[in-house]
Amino acid sequence: MRQLQAEGLLSAEAHRRPIVRRLTLERVMEIFDLRAMIEGYLVEKAMPNIDEKVIAQLAGFIELMHEPLDHNAWLSLNAEFHQALYEPSDATTALELANQLRGRAERYLRMWSEGQGIHRNAEATREHERILEYVRNGDVASARREVEQHILHTRDEAVRMYRNQRPKAIVEPAG
């Protein structure tokens, strides 16, 4: 129970039953807006430390993303891509925050995206290719801008999926 509370999935007060709150559209947008800011910062900090090994790793993730995958497998590769991209930043606190927010966002996307996420995967993979191209070229400002736009495009898709769901099916992790 404490682990669920620590992960923001459950809210519990002493001598009361645990509560799971409804997810609000504002909360969805806040998560993705914060991700855009933090991950833009991370790619900027990481770029001076990204070497050919990291570039090859990122390219490998993109190649796998082009293969036919179910949405959950694609989301796992997406998380690995972003982790590999930001890890060279050595910005430990920002990286922890980004991972926490990405994990929360992925839970929402997995919950909502039954059959809907696949078309976004192809678009997001193309965005990853553009990010990688900017990284290869050492264009920090464009890489940052593309990372931010990539996450905001995903936010827009999450908002669309949110609006298409029945409200009773959407539950917000507490916290």
The three-state secondary structure class of 111 is helix
pTM above 0.85, yes or no: no
Confidence at 2, pLDDT banded by 50, 70, 90: low
Helices (H), 113-139: 118-137
Please check the confidence at residue 45 and state whether its pLDDT lies above 90: yes
User: Token pair 């293969």 is at which residue?
Assistant: 67
Confidence at 110, pLDDT banded by 50, 70, 90: confident
Q: Which domains does the chain have, with CATH numbers?
A: 25-165 (1.20.120.530)
Confidence at 168, pLDDT banded by 50, 70, 90: very low
Number of CB atoms found within 10 A of residue 16's CB? 8
